[in-house]
A = this chain, B = another copy of it.
Amino acid sequence: MSDKHLAIGSECPPLQEGVLRCYSMKYCPYAQRVRIIIAAKNVKHEIVNINLKSKPDWFFEKNPLGKVPALEKDGALMFESMVICDYLNEAYPEPPLYPADPWQKAHDRVFIELWSKVSSPMYKVYFAKGDQHVLAQCFDDIRDGLDMFEVELSKRGTCFFAGAKPGMLDYMIWPWVERLPMAQQMAGDDDALPEERYLKLLSWMTNMKEEPAVRATFMSPETHLKFLLSHISGSPEYDMEE
């Protein structure tokens, strides 16, 4: 199956029995969450990329809100990245991605929610149009958000948030961490996130990049930036050369 993003006028690729289908967009961080968990769980699957500026009619028929990521199984559709990732974790138990203890699991889920303290100001960076006042406020917020994760990782004293191997919390925040260097480039400030302030997170990033599930979906800051600039210009190049 081609990885070209399907647009209005395309035909819906026929479903294969027993194959989980993931509707995605190559540069969407929420879709990347799902693709990482699919890789971590080694789930037999196929990816169907959707052109979000020109969604096919058949996509709306399946998925009235027209959202990606979405999962399709036997004609039934599921969406919301966290719901999908939690589903995959339950339907494919190995390796387990949450602590077995319910309180510890909930604690990880709280931190996944807290990640919006980093991801929300990142979006504002993209659309700040170089306004230095806005950018300064955004990076204040990003640094404050990252501080919580630096402190938490330090408290845990482990290589990954989940311990010796990454878990759901590690994977769920990764797509935005992968884009942090791009956010700094957008702001024209390579020192917006000082290394000495995030020593634990930097070492965590190095380790995460070696993880097979992360490598399966990784793209460079340059590639992310190239796509983002096309997106901001109003003509997102979903199928650009990386």
Contact = CB atoms under 8 A, between A and B. Distances in A.
Interface residues of A, number: 19
A105 B80 contact: no
Given A76-B103, A76-B107, A78-B103, 5 more contacts: A83-B110, A83-B113, A87-B102, A90-B102, A91-B102
A167 to B, nearest CB: 16
Interface of A is mostly: helix
Contact of A84 (B78, B80, B84, B106): B106
Contacts of A80: 109-110, 113
A110 B82 CA distance: 10
Given A80-B113, A113-B80, A87 B73 contact: no
A76 B103 CA distance: 10
Contacts of A141: none
A79 interface: yes
Nearest to A71: B106
